[in-house]
Chain A
Amino acid sequence: DAKTTQPTSMDCAEGRAANLPCNHSTISGNEYVYWYRQIHSQGPQYIIHGLKNNETNEMASLIITEDRKSSTLILPHATLRDTAVYYCIVRVRGDWAGKSTFGDGTTLTVKP
């Protein structure tokens, strides 16, 4: 499985865009990039996923570099409720097995 590297923590001002980076330099051609987040005391929540094209949904945008070795999750207008741990996961579609499925993620703190 491809390993991902994320910063341990990040801060963002409320109303500003939050850009969360993820490095996955050993990603394979059939592996997708998934993003989940976990708000305190809740289970993880799916945000978005992509293979090689940029993706956008009602929650966020995902920008994947052309060589697919890194990606950025963008929350366009962060709110206090976006404070959470964000996990970047690289997996073959539908295959969630592995010792460190989610890694340790990035703790995003949105400040007023």
Chain B
Amino acid sequence: EAGVAQSPRYKIIEKRQSVAFWCNPISGHATLYWYQQILGQGPKLLIQFQNNGVVDDSQLPKDRFSAERLKGVDSTLKIQPAKLEDSAVYLCASSLGGRGGRYNEQFFGPGTRLTVL
């Protein structure tokens, strides 16, 4: 079974630039999550999708971050404009969702390491 794919793996940009991350979840997984992990801390949920609808985006800084999941499969997370404090690893995860699967066990991708200079 293929895992969660993310690209790029690494990205270096200057502050005030824009950046986008892509995630392809495990086939058939209805729920998709984006997390931000700052060095030395645990992952923090930014947004959760159920199919192509947003379930929770309460921790997403909406003035600069946006995310979409068109057609309920792949997802993109965008930062515009980036700030120094956005330097982090951005993790995508997916789960079967609903009442199925192993109690919504999340499968994580390898992450994208963003450095903002």
**Cβ-based interface call for A9 (8 A):** no
Bound-complex Cα distance A42 to B4 (A): 12
Are A43 and B110 in contact (CB-based, < 8 A)? yes
Bound-complex Cα distance A85 to B35 (A): 17
Q: Which listed residue, B40, B44, B55, B104, touches A93 by the CB 8 Å rule?
A: B104
**Cβ-based interface call for B7 (8 A):** no
Interface majority SS (helix, strand, loop, mixed), chain B = loop
Chain B residues positioned under 8 Å from A32 (CB to CB)? 103
Are B44 and A97 in contact (CB-based, < 8 A)? no
Q: Which listed residue, B42, B103, B106, touches A104 by the CB 8 Å rule?
A: B42
Chain B's closest residue to A89 (CB) is B42
Chain B's closest residue to A101 (CB) is B45
**Cβ-based interface call for B21 (8 A):** no
Chain A's closest residue to B47 (CB) is A97
Are A43 and B93 in contact (CB-based, < 8 A)? yes
* A42 and B110 in contact, given A49-B103, A97-B48 (Cβ under 8 angstroms): yes
The size of the chain A interface, using a CB distance under 8 A, is 23
Q: Which listed residue, A45, A85, A94, touches B103 by the CB 8 Å rule?
A: A94
Are B59 and A99 in contact (CB-based, < 8 A)? yes
The smallest beta-carbon distance between A97 and chain B, in angstroms, is 4
Are A98 and B45 in contact (CB-based, < 8 A)? yes
Are B35 and A45 in contact (CB-based, < 8 A)? no
Q: Which listed residue, B33, B102, B111, touches A96 by the CB 8 Å rule?
A: B33
Are B42 and A43 in contact (CB-based, < 8 A)? no
* A43 and B111 in contact, given A96-B48, A97-B48, A97-B56 (Cβ under 8 angstroms): yes
The interface of chain A, by Cβ under 8 A from chain B, is 32, 36, 41-46, 49, 85, 87, 93-94, 96-105
The interface of chain B, by Cβ under 8 A from chain A, is 4, 33, 35, 40-45, 48, 55-56, 58-59, 91, 93, 95, 97, 102-111
- Of all A-B residue pairs in the complex, the 8 with the closest CB atoms, nearest first, are A43-B108, A102-B42, A94-B104, A97-B56, A46-B105, A101-B45, A102-B43, A103-B42
